[in-house]
Amino acid sequence: MTDAMKFPSVETCSSDGRDNHTVVADMDGTLLRGRSSFPYFALVAFEAGGSLRLLMMLLSAPLAGLLYYFISESAGIQVLIFATYAGMKVSDIESVGRAVLPKFYSSDLHPESWRVFSACGKRCVLTANPRIMVEGFLKEFLGTDVVLGTEIGTYKGRATGLVLNPGVLVGEQKAKALHKEFGDSPPEIGLGDRDTDLPFMALCKEAYTVPYNPEVKPVPNDKLPKPIVFHDGRLVQKPNPITALLTVLWIPIGFLLACLRIAAGSLLPMPLVYYAFWSLGVRVTVNGTPPPPVNKSSGQTGVLFICSHRTLLDPIFLSVALRRPIPAVTYSVSRLSEIISPIKTVRLTRDRSTDASMIKKLLEEGDLVICPEGTTCREPFLLRFSAMFAELTDHLVPVAMVNKMSMFHGTTARGWKGMDPFYFFMNPSPAYEVTFLNKLPVELTCGSGKSSHEVANYIQRVIAATLSYECTAFTRKDKYRALAGNDGTVAEQPKKKVVG
């Protein structure tokens, strides 16, 4: 039995009547189930530094492990910090901490630790991790009041990779940091999981240990203190050492495979693309019965397909499902994506009258697809549907889109959007499921007196029910403010703004 196990288990700690109490908790192994911080360093390395930075961090991991076990915990962590952060922009580290890490941290929240931590009126976290890496998650998603972590040096906006005094916060350094913060008014509860947490736990009025148990289930998604609606980053899985190594080794292979898949989609006739994708490991599943192509000689306008938005490839996979190219109106795609797209893409100008006139003209030429959310969402949520489309035609067909990726996300809010299709097709076996729903009855359209907002909200609810998703009122601006610190409007060239 370790010394830390001499304290009672966290399961015995009452969470009743703690509104006026202060709790101080360690992070890895205490607030989080996992004891290793390697996956989170790896995420920062890849998302802010790229695959070469991740490789450098992987190569340094064995040295960090040897120092950790044979010299000191502090020495091992310093090696990881240097390999991960040296030369990296501070703004990039902060961005990853705000937009990427919360998704992975939230999926590992310890239920018993959170029960006690959330019951207290004032919350403090003591961690050996760099404060800059964890503060965004702890304050924004767990309501933490004070974050005391390792401070790293900076120079002209870049991290040096060196640790500032008093060094890595482990052992006695945690106790000193706690005493400096709280003085002679010790916190009521201290939570830790290992012997190096004993010094700060001993300063608290009550101390509880969190036994390591890999079988304990994390806090369920629907019980999280704050749901994760928006998150960024390319990696789908939390990168443990084996996963990180496989990712680095796969990237050159995956990129060549992505180029082949994109070439097949761009150069082959659309009726053949479905079969080409299947032969190249891209799975396309079609549900429901789509409407037949419009007979132009009849004078009838085309159908407007209303899609949920998962990646910029949604209109392309809709076309693959229909075996015919369907033009798409977009809010913004990169110039590279436009060049390699096998379907016609038309940019919206964000001027309502101009866009309405353009869409009506396109519908006179045939079918059209639009994603009224205006931006993608990865989680099981639908963002607010822009209502303009409902005013332009009564021929509306909702389409529920679902995709599956095992290694890379095919969307980004912070990075270069031109790489989105490449990252999607770099997955070993990406998949799309396209579900065509019934055409909207005439009595539910604007032509029968419904307002455009009523129509848009109804279609949003129908698609959400089909996918078992939740409807939200969030918009593109909400997403970009949460992930990138802006409203999603970028200047592509002088005097011309496009929305991403």
Q: Which structural domains are found in the chain, ordered by start? A: 3-223 (3.40.50.1000), 250-499 (3.40.1130)
Coil vs helix vs strand at 433: strand
**Calpha distance 280→359 (Å, rounded):** 34
Q: What is the pLDDT of residue 486?
A: 64
Q: What is the pLDDT of residue 488?
A: 55
CA angle 122–127–129, rounded 5-degree value: 135
Q: What is the pLDDT of residue 330?
A: 87
What pTM did the predictor assign? 0.91
What type of residue sits at position 334?
S
Q: What share of the chain is helix, strand, coil (3-state, %, to 5)?
A: 45, 20, 35
Q: What is the pLDDT of residue 427?
A: 98
Provide φ and ψ at 310, rounded to 5°. Answer: -110, -45
Q: What is the pLDDT of residue 224?
A: 86
**Calpha distance 410→45 (Å, rounded):** 19
Spell out, as residue ranges, where the chain has pLDDT lower than 50. 1, 490-500
Coil vs helix vs strand at 267: helix
**Calpha distance 86→57 (Å, rounded):** 11
Q: Residue holding tokens 């999280």?
A: 224
CB 195 within 8 A of CB 3: yes
Residue 279 CB contacts under 8 Å (≥ 6 apart), including other chains: none
Q: What is the pLDDT of residue 3?
A: 58
Element (H, E) at 252: helix 241-267
DSSP secondary structure, 5-40, as one string: GGSPBGGG---TT-TT-EEEE-IIIIIBS----HHH
Burial class of residue 375 (count of CB atoms within 10 Å of its CB; 0-12, 13-18, 19+): buried
Coil vs helix vs strand at 457: helix
Pairing of strands 431-436, 283-287: parallel
Coil vs helix vs strand at 428: coil
Burial class of residue 179 (count of CB atoms within 10 Å of its CB; 0-12, 13-18, 19+): middle
CB 123 within 8 A of CB 135: no
Could you give the C-alpha distances from 36 to 43, 61, 68, in angstroms and in order? Answer: 13, 12, 12
**Calpha distance 17→5 (Å, rounded):** 25
